[in-house]
Structure 1
Amino acid sequence: MSQPWETLADRMPMLRRRMLLTQAVRSFFAARGYMEVETPYAVVAPGEEVHLRAVPAGDKYLNTSPEFAMKKLLAGGCGPIFQLARVWRDEPRSFSHAPEFTMLEWYNLRPDLTALMDETEALLRAVLPPVLVRNGRTISLQDFERITVAEAFFRYVGADVLATEGDAPALAAAAGAKLRESEGWEDLFFRLLLERVEPELGRERPCFLTHWPASQAALARRDPADPRVAERFELFCGGMELANAFVELTDAAEQRARFLEDRARRHALYGGEDWALDEAFLAAVDRLPPCAGIALGFDRLAMLACGASRISDVMWLQG
């Protein structure tokens, strides 16, 4: 096995491009009046997402996201803000994922999903070439697609995902899929999303997948026009999920109930020990100004900027 310094010369053009990308991102947010912040990496509560596995660090955990800490800053009146944060997730390596990576996360003071998509488009156009080449496919940043989860399931699965929510046999029948043993609705939802929907997204232009079923957006506000869905989007480009965004929930009682439900689901699936609920975060939720936030994989953004096929090509060293 080669040592990390032995490939450094070959990777240096992409690493220099990464440096320029970092500078461009900071310039973009500075021009829009954002403040750059820093938050702790070792935390007592790494989050409540059901499927994220945190890395222990003594009596604390390495954070899986700076979200809780940044919202505490927002509650104190520090906004709009952004951060280039180091995060850790106990997940296998792949061509587009490393267990330790850099996340670009920012929060504006407008509870408007459309405005956040507009801002995200502006960022990508400001820091990336107008035409990307990835895995032999050309992707134009001139136009971005926006499609709801319900529309995507109608188009690519042939199922009404909202009408069948919670009913796995009904979703399987509508999709023409065979239900696996012990497979619940959520499991089937994600299987169909991964197998039939995501491969169709962001192939020739970046795509925002919006308005997720409310059960799949634990930190997002429900859509006032349709409470079956939450104001969430994911951004896909070049065969990768690039970002995940919410109009933020500002009701602490509802947030607590969602956390407890997620804990019960996590225990049922994975077992393991719990950490104390982050009461400071829950107190901050009630003090949050109306806002929207987004987490974007910076290393994946660098992959797009460089035309790299592996995340390791754009990382200085891998932990």
Structure 2
Amino acid sequence: MRQAPPPFWRPDVHADRRPALLARGRVRAALRRWFEARDFVEVEGAILQRSPGNETHLHGFATTLVDDAGVDHPYYLHTSPEFAAKKLLAAGERRIFDFARVFRNRERTALHHPEFTMLEWYRVGEPYSVLMEDCAALLAEAARAAGVAVLRWRGHEVDPFAEPERLTLAEAFAHHAGIDLMATIAPDGTTDRDGLAAAARGAGIRLAQDDSWSDIFSRVLSETIEPMLGRGRATILCEYPVSEAALARPKPGDPRVAERFELYACGVELANAFGELTDAAEQRRRFEADMDEKQRIYGERYPIDEDFLAALATMPESAGIALGFDRLVMLCTGARRIDDVLWTPVAAPQDGPR
């Protein structure tokens, strides 16, 4: 059995961790100043929500709200401040950001923690390409605040002051896996599972018999492509297949792909951005499809936030992005695990009876 690490509150352990934690504070202050200088308003989305989100592989923490009549109501800790933020856009806010504490179950690795900080920001009436420029600027701001010239993780380095490369998913699949991704996507966005499976096997990817097109896509991406991204300079991976962009709008002129990009540095995914979908009926269809898939895989489904869909119908055209703040701090400090840059990491469950 693996020995548990010493607790973070031990004075010698804290002394080793403290420089990274102080750097965390400097980075957060610098990013907050950057947003405020550009007329963004800082908001605080409620953590308690009727739905934790409706993406297939996201898992929420369930809780119970007891009203003043003593009646129980199922609620969840949010997995993202996205629903609350978009309601504020519908209310009339134009530029907002939120350093949100968020909660995701079934996630604990070197890059995942059950409770973490997500920095989200939104721009009304601006193209999602502006968020790419934001990402480049924020990488540089974070590095300056931490006092470093390079970002590091597991032997890989990135120059945070270099212009990020921009790579489409089709280009990434062709270059890193030798797969013609778009040949497996029809003009209406439907996908060819068997075609992608054959191409993936040809690229040496092991598949399960019941893997869906989405499963195969994710497997190729995580095993073959992601480790090669953000080497030397950051990578912006863009134009995701529309089936892999739950809350993003289709790209004008090509409904096979969506206005979605992810930011990578040192092979680590740092941010996920959308040109936001504002078609409430289409959003409902996507949520229901994802919940059907969640039911099939995990035997559970989450409720749909009807209030969110009502707000979405009146929300203006917007672009939004979520950045893993703790991961950014990791790269700025050279930390090995996300726990190393959290002031009080959540204790791991103890094995055996208590």
TM-score (norm 2): 0.87
**Contact 2:150/2:332 (8 A) holds in 1:** no
Partner of 1:113: 128
Partner of 2:326: 299
Matches within 5 A, 1:269-308: 269-275=297-303, 277-308=304-335
Deviates more, 1:166-175 or 1:193-202: 166-175
The Cα RMSD (Å) is 1.4
**Contact 2:52/2:302 (8 A) holds in 1:** no
Between structure 1 and structure 2, the one with the greater Rg is: 2
**Contact 1:157/1:197 (8 A) holds in 2:** yes
Report the alpha carbon displacement of residue 274 of structure 1 after superposing the two structures with TM: 3.4
Aligned mates of 2:299, 2:157 — CA distance in 1: 44
Among 77, 91, 107, the alignment partner of 1:92 is 107
**Contact 1:148/1:209 (8 A) holds in 2:** yes
TM-score (norm 1): 0.96
Q: Does 1:250 align with 2:286?
A: no
Q: Give the gaps of 5 or more residues in structure 1.
A: none
Partner of 1:174: 199
Aligned AA for 1:284? A
Q: Does 1:215 align with 2:218?
A: no
Deviates more, 1:152-161 or 1:111-120: 111-120
Report the alpha carbon displacement of residue 22 of structure 1 after superposing the two structures with TM: 1.0
Aligned AA for 2:259? E
Aligned mates of 2:252, 2:107 — CA distance in 1: 38
**Contact 2:51/2:302 (8 A) holds in 1:** no
Report the alpha carbon displacement of residue 239 of structure 1 after superposing the two structures with TM: 2.1
Aligned AA for 1:169? D
**Contact 1:169/1:179 (8 A) holds in 2:** no
Equivalent residue of 1:5, what SS?
Answer: coil
Q: Does 1:4 align with 2:8?
A: yes
Partner of 2:168: 148
Partner of 1:132: 151
Distance 1:117 1:273, change over 3 A: closer
Equivalent residue of 2:80, what SS?
Answer: coil
Aligned mates of 2:212, 2:152 — CA distance in 1: 38
Equivalent residue of 1:242, what SS?
Answer: strand
Aligned mates of 1:60, 1:138 — CA distance in 2: 42
Equivalent residue of 1:159, what SS?
Answer: coil
Partner of 1:158: 178
Aligned AA for 2:173? F
Aligned AA for 1:87? V
Q: Does 1:70 align with 2:85?
A: yes
Aligned mates of 1:202, 1:270 — CA distance in 2: 32
Distance 1:218 1:273, change over 3 A: closer
Aligned mates of 2:211, 2:45 — CA distance in 1: 38
Q: Give the gaps of 5 or more residues in structure 2.
A: 65-73, 186-190, 347-354
Report the alpha carbon displacement of residue 113 of structure 1 after superposing the two structures with TM: 2.4
Aligned AA for 2:9? W
**Contact 1:111/1:248 (8 A) holds in 2:** no
Partner of 2:68: none
Q: Does 1:310 align with 2:329?
A: no
Aligned mates of 1:91, 1:113 — CA distance in 2: 31
Report the alpha carbon displacement of residue 179 of structure 1 after superposing the two structures with TM: 4.1
Deviates more, 1:202-211 or 1:108-117: 108-117
Partner of 2:71: none
**Contact 2:292/2:301 (8 A) holds in 1:** no
Aligned mates of 1:39, 1:180 — CA distance in 2: 39
Distance 1:221 1:273, change over 3 A: closer
Q: Does 1:192 align with 2:223?
A: no
**Contact 1:88/1:99 (8 A) holds in 2:** yes
**Contact 1:201/1:239 (8 A) holds in 2:** yes
**Contact 2:271/2:323 (8 A) holds in 1:** yes
Report the alpha carbon displacement of residue 235 of structure 1 after superposing the two structures with TM: 0.7
Report the alpha carbon displacement of residue 178 of structure 1 after superposing the two structures with TM: 5.1
**Contact 2:240/2:260 (8 A) holds in 1:** yes
State percent identity of aligned pairs.
49
Partner of 2:352: none
